[in-house]
Chains A and B, each alone.
Chain A
């Protein structure tokens, strides 16, 4: 089997880091794309320590120009991109009526426009090479809503719809595009949210049938499945990885 090249956004920490480590363990070379290059380099070190191959690339997904540069750099290094994992995301949890336009813009730019930017730049590379798998990280908030996450859930809902339409448009090129929708996960972002929302962790653990938050590696397994040959007939689908918190 040809060695695949995976471009993972937000790969400097949390879920993106675990995705990078798992895909590397399955013989993929990883472009660790992140806005924080120090964090990206840490992920690269972890991948290399485990015997894999990875490079850190600066990528601000909110800027089309930055994405263009990151893609150029990646293709210059590895020759192509076979797998795109749109993982970069961010949220600030607060009641909608207390939220401000600057926050809305940041949420939409990172969570939705970021994925639009990478798809715009990387899908043509995949079409040219005749191979491609895209996994977009959405959220259970997109499927069932989530108090305090109005704009985030709207942006992630956009990700789900973007996935379906791109899956239809790209099917003729045999490119599969699917969504993984994580439930609440024990990540640096969640710790940031927990710092200003006391009790959120305990409340969620009570509501999740498996009685714990997701660990980043729980999410990575589903991403790896969608990038595998085993999933070549699966496209346009959304899979929740949430310990049973939501069942849509």
Chain B
């Protein structure tokens, strides 16, 4: 099935490894050119780029801190010069601390809000005007299900990402007339080699009706669908890929 992504320019953030790398591979396999963003994992980003280029697509590696609007503007300059304007963004980058709220020192939460919420604002402000000018575009933001259901140990990142969900709904209303779709994919726990011990893993899996953790492939299918023309009538929505862990109305 041709998803018609061949030749499209797509930015994937946090794409050096893990989920982001899997998404970048999946896009390259569909013939899309990839703007591959990383912040600190330089060696892994270079390796991912090397592997993707084998698919015969263009790759531009861009470094930046999404919390900095200046960095994101520089990313845009570089991408527009070397790849052209973007057709789509998949924002996978995030930052979370795993602890309860009262273990935070005041202000220690700022970085989570800067990356998970302000990072989305920065990407939208820098890149969506090009999409408006082109009268087409797709913006996909990836969050954890904690953003929909709450999680006492992800209390700040969940709040920031919930804010990002709301932001994308409002943005979707604003840019619908320009044929730009803005959607959120919400994840359950994805197996990225965390090496849980057996007892912990058993306890976690019990909470998943499909009785396993997610795989990177489980996620890429949903991303490809939301980037394809099959989803052109879907905007402002949140879709969970979570093995049935939560079923939010």
Shortest CB–CB separation between residue A50 and chain B, in angstroms? 15
A247 CA / B174 CA spacing, docked (Å): 13
Find out whether the CB atom of B209 lies under 8 angstroms from the CB atom of A247.
no
One digit per residue, 1 when the CB lies within 8 angstroms of any chain B CB and 0 when it does not, for chain A 151-192 equals 000000000100010011001101000000000000000000
One digit per residue, 1 when the CB lies within 8 angstroms of any chain B CB and 0 when it does not, for chain A 215-247 equals 100110110110011111111111111111011
Shortest CB–CB separation between residue B177 and chain A, in angstroms? 6
List which B121-144 residues lie within 8 A (CB) of chain A: none
The range of chain B's interface size is 35 or more
A110 CA / B82 CA spacing, docked (Å): 56
| Closest partner residue, chain B, to A247 (CB atom) | B236
Q: Interface with B: A34-42, A88-96, A122-130, A206-214, which one?
A: A206-214
Inter-chain contacts of B236 with A (CB < 8 A): 209, 244, 246-247
Find out whether the CB atom of B233 lies under 8 angstroms from the CB atom of A242.
yes
Find out whether the CB atom of B173 lies under 8 angstroms from the CB atom of A209.
yes
| Closest partner residue, chain A, to B208 (CB atom) | A171
Inter-chain contacts of A238 with B (CB < 8 A): 249
Find out whether the CB atom of A233 lies under 8 angstroms from the CB atom of B210.
yes
The yes or no answer to A248 lying at the interface (CB within 8 A) is yes
A230 CA / B221 CA spacing, docked (Å): 4
The yes or no answer to A106 lying at the interface (CB within 8 A) is no
The yes or no answer to B51 lying at the interface (CB within 8 A) is no
The yes or no answer to B204 lying at the interface (CB within 8 A) is no
Find out whether the CB atom of B233 lies under 8 angstroms from the CB atom of A235.
no
The yes or no answer to B235 lying at the interface (CB within 8 A) is yes
Inter-chain contacts of B210 with A (CB < 8 A): 171, 174, 233, 235
Find out whether the CB atom of A239 lies under 8 angstroms from the CB atom of B237.
yes
| Closest partner residue, chain B, to A177 (CB atom) | B244
Shortest CB–CB separation between residue A54 and chain B, in angstroms? 19
Inter-chain contacts of B179 with A (CB < 8 A): 210
Inter-chain contacts of A241 with B (CB < 8 A): 233-234
The yes or no answer to A26 lying at the interface (CB within 8 A) is yes
Find out whether the CB atom of B177 lies under 8 angstroms from the CB atom of A209.
yes
A243 CA / B229 CA spacing, docked (Å): 13
Find out whether the CB atom of A247 lies under 8 angstroms from the CB atom of B172.
yes
A218 CA / B229 CA spacing, docked (Å): 9
One digit per residue, 1 when the CB lies within 8 angstroms of any chain A CB and 0 when it does not, for chain B 212-249 equals 00110011111011001111111111111111100101
Shortest CB–CB separation between residue B238 and chain A, in angstroms? 8
The yes or no answer to A143 lying at the interface (CB within 8 A) is yes
Q: A230-B224, A232-B218 are in contact. Are A239 and B239 (CB under 8 A)?
A: yes
- Option from A224, A225, A235, A240 in Cβ contact (under 8 Å) with B237: A240
| Closest partner residue, chain A, to B218 (CB atom) | A233
Find out whether the CB atom of A233 lies under 8 angstroms from the CB atom of B242.
yes
Find out whether the CB atom of A237 lies under 8 angstroms from the CB atom of B243.
no
Shortest CB–CB separation between residue B4 and chain A, in angstroms? 12
A210 CA / B219 CA spacing, docked (Å): 26
The yes or no answer to B1 lying at the interface (CB within 8 A) is yes
Q: A143-B249, A230-B222, A236-B247 are in contact. Are A244 and B235 (CB under 8 A)?
A: yes
A233 CA / B209 CA spacing, docked (Å): 10
Find out whether the CB atom of A172 lies under 8 angstroms from the CB atom of B211.
yes
| Closest partner residue, chain B, to A234 (CB atom) | B241
A50 CA / B241 CA spacing, docked (Å): 33
Find out whether the CB atom of B247 lies under 8 angstroms from the CB atom of A225.
no
A85 CA / B243 CA spacing, docked (Å): 20
Inter-chain contacts of B218 with A (CB < 8 A): 232-234
By a beta-carbon cutoff of 8 Å, the part of chain A in contact with chain B is 26, 143, 160, 164, 167-168, 171-172, 174, 208-211, 214-215, 218-219, 221-222, 224-225, 228-244, 246-248
- Give 4 nearest A-B pairs by CB, closest first: A230-B221, A209-B176, A221-B230, A171-B209
List 5 interface pairs A-B (beta carbons < 8 Å), by A numbering: A168-B209, A209-B235, A231-B221, A237-B247, A240-B237
